[in-house]
Amino acid sequence: IIERPGSSNRVISTTLAGIATKIHVLPGQLVRPGDELFQLRLVSDYLQNTQAQLYKTARDLQINADEQQRLKGVSDSQSLFKGKLLDLGYEERRLLAALDTYRQDLLTRGLTVEDINQVIAGKFLAEFIVRVPRKQDDDKLVYEMEELKVLLGELGQAGQVLGYLANHQALDVEGKAFEQESALLHRAAREN
């Protein structure tokens, strides 16, 4: 009996640099997709700067929208305000593109949409939860924490392996046979 290559074992790594402050699961315990595995206190300057830029861009967009609203009432009367309103529209497009860029960057680093919305509201992320990964239609899967590769207080870098999960709900049978038995093996496989 052997594990299925590519489906029985799963590596758990982090997309963000941080110090392990909690380990929620010990070797031998069972977990399901979405369960918490590790909590990391974030130490990445890059991540903090990206959060700050996202917040600043969101505030600049709000200021731009307020200024456009203020000028819309008077733009019919003087062409000077019409030009300013046009400039604000161009600036709004630039800010929206920057906002989308920062959002996408944070999403690729493992933050959720809820995390990003909190950053936009001014609450920066200081801790990050590493969870059992989810895929479509995998809620029935159960994993066992096979091995931890991180200790409490240890600094984990982005991409570092934190642990190994195993799913032994489906295994394969491996065997060896002689060449003259191949016809029997093909027949057994055909007939299930």
Phi, psi of 43 (to 5 degrees): -130, 10
Report the alpha-carbon distance of residue 148 to residue 25 in Å, rounded. 9
Residue 66: pLDDT over 90: yes
Q: Mean pLDDT across the stretch 82-107?
A: 93
Residue (of 61, 16, 67) closest to 38 by Cα position: 16
Residue 112: pLDDT over 70: yes
Question: Model pTM?
Answer: 0.72
Q: Which residue has the higher pLDDT, 50 or 75?
A: 50
Burial category of 71 from C-beta neighbours within 10 Å (exposed 0-12, middle 13-18, buried 19 and up): middle
Which pLDDT band, with edges at 50, 70 and 90, does 20 fall under? very high
Report the alpha-carbon distance of residue 48 to residue 56 in Å, rounded. 12
Q: Which residues contact 71 (CB under 8 A, 6 or more apart)?
A: 81, 84, 85, 88
Asked which of 21-30, 56-65, 165-174 is least confident by mean pLDDT, the reply is 165-174
